[in-house]
Amino acid sequence: MTELAHSPIFTYASMIILFTLCPPFVILLWYTLAHQDGSVTQTYGFLLENGVQGLIDLWPRPTAIAWRIIFCYAAFEATLQLLLPGKRVEGPISPTGNRPVYKANGMAAYFVTLATYIGLWWFGIFNPAVVYDHLGEIFSALVFGSLVFCVLLYVKGHVAPSSSDSGSCGNLLIDFYWGMELYPRIGKNFDIKVFTNCRFGMMSWAVLAVTYCIKQYETNGKVSDSMLVNTILMLVYITKFFWWEAGYWNTMDIAHDRAGFYICWGCMVWVPCVYTSPGMYLVNHPVELGTQLAISILVAGILCIYINYDCDRQRQEFRRTNGKCSVWGKAPSKIVATYTTTAGETKTSLLLTSGWWGMARHFHYVPEILGSFFWSVPALFSNFLPYFYVLHLTIMLVDRAMRDDDRCRSKYGKYWKLYCEKVRYRIIPGIY
């Protein structure tokens, strides 16, 4: 249970925040962006005047149409995940020595999803504006539905774990929160974390980005350049994600974090609401940037997304070729690190110490954060709320960099110390 070595203070603090504050926050974020012009002060004033009853009154009840939309979407994505063809891909070896096998059909699922969604609108079969009109009810249904889903995951972890990469730490709450299973599956082929994180969570980001664009078009008869820049940048980012989805299966979310409330609820509720929030704001605030500014933001955003992609690519190419690749035109410099698995076997890993990974140990988070700034900045500066995602991402990635450093330190011991001596900065070269 090495992944459960999170500090108890961090665990309980984040648990309290996630259980009690995040559900109302999701609803208030939607309410403020969609009904209070994105003004935190206005929502605050409303809550001050109406108290808890005000929150209860504005909280949309999950309606039949909201459940129908969620169910159709989830069933469609699950079907694509199961049926679309894809290359067989092996994930990294787990702490107990298992190697998960996946079908890499994310890119196909992404294109089929967007083509179907836009096609339904184009041919007048389903208007995505309906999704925006019922967004509050959908988020409300997701808040409760995902909680039930996580309870089922917890029960499954106890009664029918899919592999030996599972187990209890002896504390019910922590098991529920951080998860029981690393690779839960239904049958042999349906990977639950691929579904929650990629095909439900990340895909909903793309679907909602398109929804906001269409809603603005349906309302105003045109799409503002700010909305176009926001949507294009988000879609470039999500396209990159699905292009590289098999690489994502090697990252902390999949290879180290277990399927519990923290990650699954986050992907199924937080991603559709918080990650899409700059676009949600722009629906009713069609800022016109002008061609020059719009293109400058677009180019800067694409550059950041490309650098973030290149950092991930560099690390994976380096690991895939066992260090026999070129990094920025030269042979890579590296540390050969050994570690012991929970089964007591000694294994070797390579740590790259040149290229992006020689600048800082988590430099890839810098372009990730800047990219999100560039798809938020088309909202300009009348309100803070369109930048909430940037703030949230910054806090999350700083915490993630610390958690990853801790995990790698306990995994690699003296070799990680050596890496930290060679590459001194955690995220921003010369600063942090």
**Binding site residues, ligand NDP, CB under 6 A:** 251-253, 308, 312, 315, 349, 351-352, 357, 364-365, 368, 393, 400, 404, 408, 411
425: left (phi over 0), alpha (psi -120 to 50) or beta: beta
Q: Return d(Cα 337, Cα 411) in angstroms, integer.
A: 10
Question: Closest distance between ligand NDP and the C-beta of residue 134, in Å?
Answer: 25
CA distances from 40 to 25, 36, 277 (A): 12, 8, 14
Q: Which is nearer to ligand NDP, 191 or 312 (CB)?
A: 312
Q: Which is nearer to ligand NDP, 214 or 401 (CB)?
A: 401
Question: Closest distance between ligand NDP and the C-beta of residue 261, in Å?
Answer: 17
Q: Which two tokens stand for residue 114?
A: 């967007």
Question: Taking a C-beta distance cutoff of 8 angstroms, is the pair 168, 77 a contact?
Answer: no
Question: Closest distance between ligand NDP and the C-beta of residue 170, in Å?
Answer: 25
H or E segment to which residue 103 belongs: strand 101-104
Question: Closest distance between ligand NDP and the C-beta of residue 127, in Å?
Answer: 29
Question: Closest distance between ligand NDP and the C-beta of residue 413, in Å?
Answer: 13
Among 166, 150, 199, 158, CA closest to 94:
166
Overall residue count recorded for the chain in this entry = 432
Give the CA count within 13 Å in the CB-facing half-sphere of 385.
Answer: 28
Question: Closest distance between ligand NDP and the C-beta of residue 182, in Å?
Answer: 13
Q: Which is nearer to ligand NDP, 251 or 341 (CB)?
A: 251
β pairing state of 346-352 and 334-340:
antiparallel
Q: What are phi and psi of 63, to 5 degrees?
A: -100, 170
Q: Which is nearer to ligand NDP, 137 or 368 (CB)?
A: 368
Q: Which is nearer to ligand NDP, 133 or 404 (CB)?
A: 404
Question: Closest distance between ligand NDP and the C-beta of residue 66, in Å?
Answer: 25
Q: Which is nearer to ligand NDP, 31 or 249 (CB)?
A: 249
Question: Taking a C-beta distance cutoff of 8 angstroms, is the pair 38, 217 a contact?
Answer: no
Q: Is 232 exposed, middle or buried (0-12, 13-18, 19+ CB in 10 A)?
A: middle
Q: Which is nearer to ligand NDP, 31 or 318 (CB)?
A: 318
Q: Which two tokens stand for residue 85?
A: 């063809």
Which residues share a beta bridge with 337? 349
Q: In sequence order, which residues have a C-beta less than 8 Å from that of residue 378 and are 6 or more positions away?
A: 225, 226, 227, 229, 230, 278, 282, 287, 289, 294, 297
Question: Closest distance between ligand NDP and the C-beta of residue 352, in Å?
Answer: 4
Q: Which is nearer to ligand NDP, 65 or 402 (CB)?
A: 402
Q: Which is nearer to ligand NDP, 158 or 400 (CB)?
A: 400
Question: Closest distance between ligand NDP and the C-beta of residue 396, in Å?
Answer: 6
